[in-house]
Amino acid sequence: MHELSIAISMVDMAAEEAAQRGDVKVNAIYLKLGAMSGVVKDALLFSYDVVCEGTPMEGSRLVIEEVPIIVFCPKCEIETAPVSINNLCCPTCETPTPQVVRGREMEVTALEIE
Ligand SMILES: [Zn+2]
């Protein structure tokens, strides 16, 4: 499962960071997740809890900030939200907008440490 391996690497990363700071406790991991990242939010949250169980990370939270899709319309020359995730067209002029500006990201933005 895709989300499980992502959760494992995130927890590993946070545990390493905590160890480097002198075995502090991580309360939360903040993650930015784009709507087109290909990661299922609920599956990731579930995997996170499974991975944390029985580790020093147990009881910590994964806080996901969902990033909507933003595309660039070459005709209107603006950045806009597309019609839908399956229909990347400009809502104003209906030009296909293959240039995705935001929405593919998956990055840890912060760790909350005790
Ligand atoms: Zn347009």
Give residue 23's pLDDT: 85
- Sign of torsion over alpha carbons 16, 45, 38, 4: positive
Whole-prediction pTM value? 0.87
Give residue 20's pLDDT: 94
Amino acid at 54: G
How far, in Å, is the centroid of ligand 1 from the Cα of 72?
8
How far, in Å, is the centroid of ligand 1 from the Cα of 29?
37
Does 2-68+103-113 carry CATH code 3.30.2320.50?
yes
pLDDT along the chain (114 residues), means of 10: 92 94 94 96 97 94 97 97 95 96 96 92
> b/e string for 10-40 if b means 16 or more Cβ within 10 A?
bbeebbeebeeeeeeebeebebbbbbbbebe
- Identify residues whose C-beta is under 5 A from ligand 1, the ion: 73, 75-76, 90, 92-93, 95
